[in-house]
Structure 1
Amino acid sequence: MPTIDRYPQRIVCLTEEPTEVLYALGEQDRIVGISGFTVRPPKARKEKPKVSAFTSAKIDEILKLQPDFVVGFSDIQADIARDLIKAGVEVWISNHRSVDGILGYIRRLGAMVGAAEKAEAYAQRAERHIAAIEAAAAAFFRRPKVYFEEWDDPLITGIRWVAELVRLAGGDDVFPQMSGESLAKHRILGDPGEVVKQAPDIILGSWCGKRFRPEKVAAREGWDAIPAVRHGDLHEIKSPIILQPGPAALFDGLEAMHKIFVEWEKRQRG
């Protein structure tokens, strides 16, 4: 009888976060295909064939790779998953939307490839990093009110893990009630004047896939009344480190926000 591998040996990653996790765990040799949007780690783009976008995938190319496991993210990739399942491929679509969800994702993916201990150690490292940032933020004299913008036309506010990271970094998201909506269409701000009313101290922009333009934000009608605009506190957080629910957000994304908040808070102390 042929030998059946206990754990997947040929994995296709439809989004960046499983690629980043598997490389961090030293399990990158299992990866046979990645998303074209993958930028972390940089060497993955050089080493692995790119077979998917976010809402589409080259099904034939994936099947040629003979994967025994495909990992994707969210309901947006449901059609890709359906086509692969119909072709007889085992597919796991995660749907986590929180910081705890990201930590659980690292542990689950590690267990699925037989690297549970390494995954646990990596998750604990992330938890220590989060705790250190949160402890530093607890010493703030004043916490900034923060507006996070995921897209500019229409205006889309930050998703749950982003709002949670804003809080952990030392800020307060001005639209916490919207962050719980998993779909972007439910986080659209119909009235830009709502941001003016919230008077954020800091505006963070991460326009998924394109450069944030603070001068365009500052020029919006009535936004000159916003403290963040008056004081020039408009900052870009690069989308690869904050808009994918994986390790990048817990490490680099969180740290980038915290550094911005620290500088703002220092100015408040005078």
Structure 2
Amino acid sequence: MGPQRIVCLTEEPTETLYALGEEARIVGISGFTVRPARARREKPKISAFTSAKIEEIVRLAPDMAIGFSDIQADIASELIRRGVEVWISNHRSVDGILDYIRRLGALVGVPARADAYADALARDLDVIRAAGRALPMRPKVYFEEWDSPIISGIQWVSELVEIAGGIDLLPARSREPLARQRIVADDREIIDAAPDVIIGSWCGKKFRPERVAARPGWQDVPAVRNGELHEVKSPLILQPGPAALTDGVRELQRIVRAWAARHA
């Protein structure tokens, strides 16, 4: 049976449970949830990312709350003190996302359905990976998660850039799990690496390519010189769930393939 009254503190458990046909178990969602769109109409919003309406959650009488990462540790500890069972996942890679889907499916008693869904996502990624490897040219891609301070992309984003056919500019940095560990203190690191494409996904606000282009010293960066500054909306790529492995990676693929076509 598994938990029957689930509070989702982030978007990825909501999207996954809807995809598995188990949305009836959800009694509360993150206010940042945009996928699926119907979830915002159907479920009460009880949390942000670093804060939550604890009293409202308790009144919903959940038998489990599901969240993501150490950033939600304070929310988790308060809910635990109030008698709520909590699962905080901490995955950071594409394989981690697929495993998360399998584990969540097993948790709610539909392991076969979750395995089939994860397998289908993995097969789609294999097709995109093969197409990326077949490109005649592959661009160096700098992915920016925040602008002030400059924060580069996390591991699953780096991996999806490579799957889409790009060459991630800062793969070693992406393995750092915390955002503060991915702060680029000296942007000469990016300038000197000369990215062909810049992709911005500023979490919670619109990417402003003109601001990037106006940074001192960035005018001769190939991506800036050639107008290759693009946005992928943060709900598509910055949550470690199905969105990143579907619409998110397809947006990356679209950008990379268009660059390759222009430079073939």
Shared fold per TM-score greater than 0.5: yes
Task: Give the gaps of 5 or more residues in structure 2.
Answer: none
Partner residue, 1:49: 44
Equivalent residue runs for 1:123-202 within 5 Å: 123-202=118-197
Residues 107-158 of structure 1 deviation map (CA, whole Å, 9 limit, x = unaligned): 0000000111111111011001100100101111111000000000010000
* Runs of 4+ with deviation above 4 angstroms: none
Residues 6-44 of structure 1 deviation map (CA, whole Å, 9 limit, x = unaligned): 311100000000000000001000000000000000110
Q: How many residues align?
A: 264
Whole-angstrom distance in 2 between the partners of 1:44 and 1:66: 19
Partner residue, 1:86: 81
Partner residue, 1:216: 211
Deviation at 1:192, TM superposition (A): 1.6
Whole-angstrom distance in 2 between the partners of 1:143 and 1:42: 34
Deviation at 1:223, TM superposition (A): 0.6
Partner residue, 2:60: 65
Whole-angstrom distance in 2 between the partners of 1:29 and 1:231: 49
Does residue 1:26 correspond to 2:32, yes or no?
no
Partner residue, 2:94: 99
Equivalent residue of 1:235, what SS? Answer: strand
Equivalent residue runs for 1:251-270 within 5 Å: 251-269=246-264
Identity %: 66
Equivalent residue of 1:60, what SS? Answer: helix
Amino acid at match of 1:208: C
Equivalent residue of 2:61, what SS? Answer: coil
Whole-angstrom distance in 2 between the partners of 1:216 and 1:53: 28
Whole-angstrom distance in 2 between the partners of 1:163 and 1:182: 12
Whole-angstrom distance in 2 between the partners of 1:85 and 1:188: 32
Whole-angstrom distance in 1 between the partners of 2:71 and 2:215: 31
Whole-angstrom distance in 2 between the partners of 1:7 and 1:168: 35
Partner residue, 1:236: 231
Equivalent residue of 1:51, what SS? Answer: strand
Whole-angstrom distance in 2 between the partners of 1:215 and 1:193: 19
Equivalent residue of 2:35, what SS? Answer: coil
Whole-angstrom distance in 2 between the partners of 1:207 and 1:178: 17
Partner residue, 2:34: 39
Partner residue, 1:7: 2
Whole-angstrom distance in 1 between the partners of 2:169 and 2:151: 13
Whole-angstrom distance in 2 between the partners of 1:174 and 1:8: 42
Deviation at 1:87, TM superposition (A): 1.2
Whole-angstrom distance in 1 between the partners of 2:170 and 2:203: 19
Deviation at 1:194, TM superposition (A): 1.6
Equivalent residue of 2:219, what SS? Answer: helix
Amino acid at match of 1:131: D
Whole-angstrom distance in 2 between the partners of 1:137 and 1:175: 19
Deviation at 1:92, TM superposition (A): 0.4
Structure 1-normalised TM-score? 0.97
Residues 202-256 of structure 1 deviation map (CA, whole Å, 9 limit, x = unaligned): 0000000000001111111111110001110000000000000000000011000
- Cα RMSD of the aligned pairs, angstroms, is 0.6
